[in-house]
Amino acid sequence: MAKRLSVLIFSRDDAAKAIALAKDIYEIADEIVLIDSSMKTIHSKLVSAKARMGLAKLRIYYAIPLGYPDPLRMWALKKCTNGWVMLLDTDERLSPALKSDLHKIINKAGSQALSIRRYEEVGRGFRGSFTNWQTRLFKKGSVTFKGIIHEEPAINGHIEKITGSEYYIDHVAELRGNAAFGYSNMEKFLRMSYKDYNLRLIDYFYKVTVPDRQDRAGAGGASLKTLLTLYEKLGLKHAGEEASHFDYFMFYYLMAVAMYLKKRRISGVFSGLVDAGKALAKVKAWQREEDATESFEISKILYKEGLIKFLELDKDSTIKWLNKRYSAQRGGIGLLIGLLKLRYERGKRWME
């Protein structure tokens, strides 16, 4: 039996791009689930466009904007009715070969998830060489998202790479909107204890290598874990204490250099020092804020159990409560930060 596919899309105030993507993948999708967080006038345009164009496969749901789509992903997955789900952004397009062969690839898959190469800097007539691997195609019941910005899903099972050079996703420059939506305001909840520091480095290693299982990263992953553990023991570090300024600097430096090298810019070995210095300055600023202790404790909770679980954002009842209570507000990162603080201060009775 052929495996059926749901395509999951998130949009905010970009009705034209959301509809354009839906039309682009309409023939290959058995169902398109669009989670829209637009202002009411734009949301109405989406609903009208669906009816006018006869897009019967397209199902539109509203959720108040929380600044970026990741906190809504587990709730959105529950709206998908098929066994396989592909996650796409409105500024992304599948290569012709990937669109043509997608169902064949799914039907032959012997794993729970598939990673696809994405070209990061695609412009008019230009694709460049900068790519990374993203796990965007997976069995619905095998995936977990925590709700952290730009996270890769946790897969319970095997992961395969779609390796053919003709199979890829384009990240199209002219389709991009204001993607930031105040991301920087959420960064203070990315402060790291040493336990979180280790997890983030290992997670990044997984993104680069894409192991066949996330719980089995091979010799490289095992060596990295050993080195991190040894460093902490020799330095008398405690898992729950915040990383030192030196360790923050090294973390951001390694991330910056890795990105520059992926872009084939050797100068990044030096440019990364500047980037890491700026990132460290932000950390020091967060640590001086009045709520610094609270934000660090929330950071640890988010790494441990995830933002989605902490705020119960996988439940219909929570989304309905948020839509009703905050319908008169614009929502966004400010609302999300307020909810995190409310949940931390009030505990599980935070919605009462």
Q: List pLDDT tens digits, range 288-336.
A: 999 999 999 999 999 989 999 999 999 999 999 999 998 867 788 899 9
pLDDT value at residue 294:
95
Residue 127, pLDDT score = 79
Q: For residues 9 and 21, what is the distance between their CA atoms, to the nearest angstrom?
A: 9
Across 32-53, b (16+ Cβ under 10 Å) vs e yields bbbbbbbeeebbebbeebbeee
**Close Cβ partners of 317 (under 8 Å, ≥ 6 residues apart):** none
* pLDDT at residue 1 is higher than 80: no
pTM of the model: 0.90
CA angle 317/12/334 to nearest 5° reads: 70
Fold (CATH) for 5-175: Spore Coat Polysaccharide Biosynthesis Protein SpsA; Chain A (3.90.550)
* Structure token pair of residue 116: 């696809």
The β-bridge relationship of strands 84-88 and 5-11 is parallel
Backbone φ and ψ of 3, nearest 5°: -85, 135
At residue 158, does pLDDT exceed 80? yes
Segments making up each domain of the chain, as ranges: 5-175, 184-305
CA nearest neighbour of 87 among 63, 111, 118: 118
Mean pLDDT (the chain) is 88
| pLDDT value, residue 182 | 64
Q: Which of 55, 24, 66 is nearest to 326 (CA)?
A: 66
Which of 314, 326, 311, 209 lies closest to 258 in space, CA to CA?
209
CA neighbours closer than 13 Å in the CB half-sphere of residue 155 = 26
Calculate mean pLDDT across residues 280-289.
95
Q: Which amino acid is at 346?
A: R
Residue 208 — pLDDT band, cuts 50, 70, 90? low
Band of residue 352 on the pLDDT scale cut at 50, 70, 90: confident
Tell me how far apart the alpha carbons of residues 117 and 293 are, in angstroms, rounded to a whole number.
40
Least confident of 204-218, 250-264, 322-336: 204-218
**Residues linked to residue 94 through DSSP beta bridges, in sequence order:** 169
Lowest mean pLDDT among 30-39, 215-224, 248-257: 215-224
Q: What is the mean pLDDT of residues 125-143?
A: 88
**For position 220, what pLDDT does the model report?**
59
> How many other C-beta atoms lie within 10 A of the C-beta of residue 175?
18
pLDDT at 47: 93
Q: Are the C-beta atoms of 134 and 152 separated by less than 8 Å?
A: yes
Q: How confident is the model at residue 125 (pLDDT cuts 50, 70, 90)?
A: confident
Tell me the pLDDT band of 257, cut-offs 50, 70 and 90. Answer: confident
pLDDT tens, 32-88? 999 999 988 899 999 999 999 999 999 999 999 998 899 999 999 999 999 999 999
Q: In this model, does residue 8 exceed pLDDT 60?
A: yes
Residue 178 predicted with pLDDT over 60? no
For residue 128, pLDDT over 80 is answered with no
pLDDT of residue 280: 95
pLDDT band at 145 (very low <50, low <70, confident <90, very high): very high
Place of tokens 């990673």: 115
